[in-house]
């Protein structure tokens, strides 16, 4: 069947299974990295605030 405009298959980009796996790993790493950063900032903030409170007391 000729590739007339009506019959041209829809162009979609599809990753290979290995590339999909790597993408999932990258996404997970970003999520973990963000979570770790938020956790570290939270802990550091608590430590600084508690240190300042203790210093003021």
Partner 1 sequence: MVNRDNTGTSVVDDKSSFAGPRDYFALLKPRVMSLVIFTALVGMIAAVANGASVHPGLAAASLLAIAVGAGASGALNMWWDADIDAVMSRTIARPIPQGLVPRSEAAGFGALLSALSIALLALASNYVAAGLLAFTIFFYVVIYSMWLKRSTPQNIVIGGAAGALPPVVAWAAASGTAPLDAWILFLIIFLWTPPHFWALALYREGDYARAGVPMMPNVAGELSTKKQIFGYSIILVVAGIAPYATGLGGTAYLAISSAFGAGFLLLAWRVFKSQPKSKEAPKQLFAFSILYLFALFAALLAEDLYALYA
Return residues touching partner 1 (CB under 8 A). Answer: 8-16, 18-19, 22-23, 25-26, 28-29, 37, 40-41, 43-45, 47-48, 51
Between the alpha carbon of residue 4 and those of residues 1, 9, 11, 51, the distances in Å are 8, 10, 14, 73
Per the structure block, which two tokens stand in for 54? 């203790």
CA distance 45 to 24: 31
Smallest gap from residue 34 Cβ to partner 1 (A): 10
Smallest gap from residue 36 Cβ to partner 1 (A): 9
Smallest gap from residue 19 Cβ to partner 1 (A): 4
């Amino acid at each position: 069947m000729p590739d007339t405009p009506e019959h041209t298959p829809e162009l979609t980009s599809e990753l290979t299974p290995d590339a999909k796996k790597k993408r999932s790993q990258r996404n997970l790493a970003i999520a973990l990295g963000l979570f770790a950063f938020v956790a570290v900032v939270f802990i550091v903030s608590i430590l600084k605030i508690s240190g300042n409170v203790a210093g003021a007391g």
